[in-house]
Structure 1
Amino acid sequence: MAQRVTAIFDIGKTNKKFFLFDKNYNEVYREYTSFKEIVDEDGYATENLEALQNWLKEVFYRLLNNKDYIIKAINFSTYGASLVHLDETGKVLTPLYNYTKEIDTHLVDSFYKKYGPELDLTRITGSPKSGLLNSGMQLYWLKKTKPEIFKKIKYSLHLPQYLSYVFTGIPISDYTSIGCHTSLWNYEKSDYHSWVYNEEIHKILPPLIATETSINMNYNGKRIKVGVGIHDSSSALIPYVRSVKKPFILVSTGTWSIALNPFSDAPLTTEETAAGCINYMRINGKPVKSSRLFLGNEYKLQVKELSKKFNVDIDYHKTVEFNYSTYLEIIKEFQYCFKWKSFSDKNMPTKTKYSYNTFEYAYHQLMIELVQLQVKSIKKIANTHDINRLYVDGGFTDNDLYIKLLSHNLREMKLRTTKASLGSALGAAIAISDTKLNSKFLRKNYALKKHVPFIIK
């Protein structure tokens, strides 16, 4: 008997994934692919949008005709800060510009001179000055540097909404894409920022609708709900928000460690903005206070140096477990030893000092210092006594030192780890569903695990 399923395209910068989930959100089918990048007019590497679009349609129609499944809904989760510009006939006008592409700093400075000061604009929009990683800046850059193309734009769609458009032909905007590091949204007024109106950017942004909206379509005589798409960081938050009833902090770890507080209704303060806090947005338009730490990147660089220094295999660090005696020795006369490569911190020395004779000791020192930074990042966005639940997902959940040290340093919080490799895809499936989640959802679907702080003897 054919299964009724929800189809999800989960599009990352490298891997493009397709999933089918049953009514209980169990994965019943998956398919991965990747495409060789193309280049834009400046020779800068970017997404092959045509190949992506062709793959979307090929996979969808193949599974639509598969007699083992009945697709009842489809949705899309993708990376952010990426826009597709369409003319009045629906033709794509430009490459999908890569948000890592550098642009003229004079142009950026002129924007903040006209609409700043920078700190105020960052605070009100919840978006930092970050070049094309800020999609509002992409629109401003396109208008100022390619005016002839800009004049032809009928609609500019963020990538999740463009994928929805591929299947519906209906251009829309959604809160999660508009509100995540774009400088487009005024969080104090719950409207586009005045600069968007001044530059007439609002005229090319399609109607803004709730992320949970779906559009009924008919494919080959089959009725299917098509979602409007969702920004992947906001999507990954949905299973937690829907199943956990008490306030919590989610720390999503990987190359970036992103701490998310979905329970702060107050706009960012000047102090929080100066400390590097930004806003993401929930699917209902409410802000998610966030702080970012380049944790995974720094960890990778430092471990490489340590492995070389102590002549051990590059993967040896994965075998090192927390040692209580080693920890006590290090903190007895604690000194900061590591000079960071990815960011700066007031406590770091001018040069890395290797104070120990073994990799294990140096590795413990590294993790103690990195976790201190992680704790600061969490405390930037929340009073950890008021919000005492902490969820950690991503790569560092397997790091024994990271988890034990984090639990120890945040003893006032109840720490839980989850395995959420399907986080953003599952979030997109939940967003288009009317199903209610209960408190057992994370335990069943996310391998929820409790952690207790170690005891100092």
Structure 2
Amino acid sequence: MTEKPAAIAVLDIGKSNAKLALIDRESGAMRSIRTMKNVVRAGPPYPHFDVETIWAWLIAGLAEASAAVDVEVIAVTTHGAAITVLDEDGLVLPVLDYEYPGPDSVADAYRAVRGDFAEILSPDLPGGLNAGRQLFWLARSFPEDFGRATTILPYPQYWVWRLTGRRVAEPTSFGAHSDLWNAGAGIYSGLAIREGWTELFPPQMAPWDEVGPVLADIAEAARLPARCRVVAGIHDSNASLLPHILSRPLPFAVISTGTWMITFAAGGSLDRLDQTRGGLAYVDAFARPVPSTMSMTGREFEILTAGRAKAPTSDEIARVIAEEIMALPGFVPGAGPYGQRQGRWTHDPESLTDGERTTAASLYAALVADTSLRLAGAEGPVLIEGPLAKSPLFLSALAALVDRSVIGRPDATGTTEGAALLADGPEHARRGAADPAPAVPLGGGFPAYAAAWRTAAGD
């Protein structure tokens, strides 16, 4: 029998989609990837993520993969702002969809206890975007269920628990605008201590530490080898950051794009962060604070294009710039550097072609990215991960705005690539391929367009 090639399986759960990727252990190349839409169930008792559908899809995907490869390691990465509350048997409450506004009902009481920005370096966000507010609301809205809890797990480690039966934590998820972490001191926040939640947090590990082998019954169902091991996992935007931390000199910036656009200013200063404009510090895989900004620019792009994004022609780009057809921020209330503003179009969007709308949305995204870089105090080259790395217009516009190298990595798998590095730890991490050429700055009348946009946006 021919020996099957060794592989790493990466479970990557984003807000919009879940992915299961197989990474060749020897070459680091992507062997295959399968995706599913991440469904939110309406309730009861509130909108929540459909973890059982994801679980069944994961087991089926692993079983299919195991026919072709030897899955030696499983690494998990997920979006932030999801927290799980368990007793000995499993979830005591469903995993809240962080966009649900329910936690806003306790916002005033929560703000009185959450802690100062200087301590938690986490902005006050709506709904359940702060995991601390989620827990605060759940504890008061469902006291009997919450009272049964024996463990609180970040979302990546929930899936690690289901695979291994072991409950662990790691720093990147607790450091993702959760209000549960004191980034400067590298300890849990005063809020988490005062509320008694730290007693429910399990022991911490580094993201690449081995948690254990896959449970025997899971290995059988997924046709995995008994020796298949699971590492502790990582927050998705930090997964995108990890390959660069391991291979680049400071300073540099990484913009991880998807539903959210997360800007990391590696080597930057924490002193310039503005919590009212999406400023925060994330915590990297080595538990170090990284000045950052966050905005829901991917969601805004979908809104601005009405879900009909189309590569624009040169004539469409020229018309949008010449006639100053603009989307002015912001289109997701409470999120990002313009979350306090009401978005609007300068022209009727229904009168535009799909290519013109896509042009305006791409320029909007570049202008928001430029603002985010400045607010994070970013310096050095700018690396773009995720969907916007495939947009030449976005890359060229951003290159014109920042006046330094902007490098789109359209062939990079972003979060998946970073999560795969956890299989062997930082000492043995594979160095990535050379960067593509930097984007050529957008010329023509774009500087005047950008100046007019900034004035209208209040910058």
Match of 1:342 in 2: 331
Aligned to 2:450: none
Alignment of 1:57-456 (within 5 A): 57-61=59-63, 63-64=65-66, 66=67, 68-87=68-87, 89-116=88-115, 120-121=116-117, 124-217=120-213, 219=216, 222-264=226-268, 266-269=269-272, 272-303=274-305, 318-321=311-314, 338-340=327-329, 342=331, 344=338, 352-353=346-347, 371-383=366-378, 387-411=379-403, 413-420=404-411, 422-434=413-425, 435-438=428-431, 441-443=432-434, 448-453=436-441
> What is the distance in 2 between the residues matched to 1:350 and 1:29?
41
Hey, what's the Cα distance between the residues in 2 that align with 1:410 and 1:227? 38
Q: 1:186, CA displacement in angstroms?
A: 0.9
Q: Which residue of 2 aligns with 1:309?
A: none
Matched-pair contact (CA < 8 Å) for 1:262–1:282 = no
Change (3 A) 1:272 1:420: farther
C-alpha displacement of 1:256: 3.2
1:168–1:268 distance in 2 versus 1, CA, 3 Å? farther
Query: Alpha-carbon deviation of 1:99?
Result: 1.1
Identity %: 21
Q: 1:345 to 1:130 in 2, by over 3 A?
A: closer
Does the residue aligned with 1:54 lie in a helix, a strand or coil?
helix
- Looking at structure 2, the residues matched to 361 and 145 of structure 1 have their Cα atoms a distance apart, in angstroms, of 46
Write the letter of the residue equivalent to 1:378: L
2:213 & 2:352 partners in 1: Cα distance? 63
User: Does structure 2 retain, via aligned residues, the 8 Å contact 1:127–1:180?
Assistant: no
Whole-Å separation in 1 of the counterparts to 2:173 and 2:28: 24
Shift of residue 366 of structure 1?
A: 6.8
Q: In 1, are the aligned partners of 2:282 and 2:292 still within 8 Å (CA)?
A: yes
CA distance in 1, matches of 2:361, 2:32: 40
Shift of 1:168: 1.6
Q: 1:432 to 1:322 in 2, by over 3 A?
A: farther
Q: Deviations over 1:90-135 (max 9, x none)?
A: 332111121111125341211212344xxx3376332433331211
| 8 Å contact from structure 1 (residues 229, 428) kept in 2 | yes
The question of whether the paired residues in 1 share the 8 Å contact of 2:41 and 2:48 is answered with yes
For the residue of structure 1 that corresponds to 2:108, the secondary structure is helix
Q: CA deviation at 1:84?
A: 2.4
User: Could you tell me how far apart the structure 2 residues matched to 1:416 and 1:377 are?
Assistant: 17
Match of 1:40 in 2: 43
1:308 maps to none
Indicate how the Cα distance of structure 1 residues 47 and 340 shifts in structure 2: closer, same or farther if over 3 A, else same. Answer: same
Deviation per residue, 1:13-48 (Å, 9 max, x gap): 443322221122112233334475434323x43222
- The structural deviation recorded for 1:304 is 5.1
Residues 454, 196 of structure 1: CA spacing in aligned structure 2 closer, same or farther, 3 A cutoff? closer
Of 24, 31, 35, the match for 2:34: 31
Q: Give ranges in structure 2 of 5+ residues lacking alignment.
A: 220-224, 333-337, 446-459
Partner-residue secondary structure (3-state), 2:21: strand
After TM superposition, give the deviation of residue 272 of structure 1 in Å: 2.4
The 2-side partners of 1:275 and 1:15 are apart by 27
User: Contact conserved, 1:259 with 1:292, CA < 8 A, in 2?
Assistant: yes
Cα distance in structure 1, aligned partners of 2:199 and 2:375 = 36
Does the Cα contact within 8 Å between 1:38 and 1:45 map onto a contact in 2?
yes
- Find the aligned partners of 2:389 and 2:249 in 1 and give their Cα distance: 23
- 1:282 shift after superposition: 0.9
1:287 CA drift (Å): 1.6
Deviations 1:231-267 (A, max 9, x none): 1111122222223234211122344332211323x44
Query: Aligned AA for 1:38?
Result: R
Code of the residue aligned with 1:429 in structure 2: it is A
Residue type matched to 1:74 in 2?
Answer: I
CA distance in structure 2 between the aligned counterparts of 1:410 and 1:115, rounded to whole angstroms:
35
CA distance in 2, matches of 1:286, 1:225: 26
Could you tell me how far 1:414 is from its partner in structure 2? 1.5
SS at match of 2:76: strand
Structure 1 contact 21–29 (Cα < 8 Å) conserved: yes
Q: CA–CA distance in 1 between the matches of 2:274 and 2:9?
A: 39
Structure 2 SS opposite 1:450 = coil
Q: Partners of 2:50 and 2:364 in 1: how far apart? A: 40
Q: What TM-score comes out, normalization by structure 2 length? A: 0.80
How many residues align? The count is 425
Deviation of 1:203 (Å): 0.7
Moved more, 153-162 or 336-345: 336-345
1:223–1:48 distance in 2 versus 1, CA, 3 Å = same
1:143-179 per-position Cα deviation (integer Å, ceiling 9, x unaligned): 2222211221110111210111112211111111111
Larger radius of gyration: 1
Report the CA distance between 1:421 and its aligned residue: 6.0
Distance 1:369 1:145, change over 3 A: closer
2:77–2:419: 8 Å Cα contact kept in structure 1? Answer: yes
For residues 180 and 109 of structure 2, the distance between their equivalents in structure 1, rounded to whole angstroms, comes to 17
For residue 59 of structure 1, report the CA deviation from its aligned partner: 3.8
Q: Tell me, what secondary structure is at the counterpart of 2:75? A: strand
Contact kept in structure 2, 1:321 and 1:400, CA below 8 Å: no
Q: Return the letter of the residue paired with 2:251.
A: P
Alpha-carbon distance, 1:184 to partner = 0.2
Alpha carbons of structure 1 residues 37 and 406: separation in structure 2 relative to 1, 3 Å: closer
Change (3 A) 1:163 1:114: closer
Give secondary structure in 2 for the equivalent of 1:283: coil
